[in-house]
Amino acid sequence: MAQPPLASPDDIELQFYEALQQGDIDKLMAVWSDDDDIACVHPGGPRVIGATAIRASFDAMFANGAINAHAEKVRRVMSHSSAVHNVLERVQVMTKEGPQSAWVIATNVYMKTAQGWRLVAHHASPGTPREVQEIVETASVLH
């Protein structure tokens, strides 16, 4: 049975992070566009192009278990057929000292397709606890 179109970039993002948390490769790959040039960059990693390579990269990550990542402080820029989300990801990792939060800064790019909204790029960079605090430009009036 075909999956119904996902109604918004937020729907896609929710499914993406649920798939990471569940270690569900099929659910994760269902959010991606069918375009040959989809791209993914994992923190500190190379650019990965195409569905087969992206699937292999997440398969390798899931070999160590699900990824307890949660999107926080999402900043959205949206048009009729595309959306860009800049996300602060909180990733729970187990260390010798117990559970700790690691931070990742990600940009997710979505396009509206015939199949509904789909992810076309996920670019993640290592972050630090400093990223919890944001530097936000205040609006200025030009005269």
Q: CA angle, corner 84, sides to 80 and 87, nearest 5?
A: 145
CB 112 within 8 A of CB 82: yes
Model confidence pLDDT, tens digit, residues 100-142: 888 999 999 999 998 899 999 999 999 876 666 665 666 555 5
Model confidence pLDDT, tens digit, residues 48-107: 999 999 999 999 999 988 999 999 999 999 999 999 999 999 998 777 888 888 899 999
Q: Where are the domains of the chain?
A: 9-128
Bridge partners of 49, per DSSP, are: 39
pTM: 0.85
Give the full edge-to-edge strand order of the sheet including 47-49.
47-49, 39-41, 116-126, 98-113, 82-95, 69-78
Q: What is the spatial distance between Cα 62 and Cα 21, in angstroms, rounded to a whole number?
A: 10
Fold of 9-128: Nuclear Transport Factor 2; Chain: A, (3.10.450)
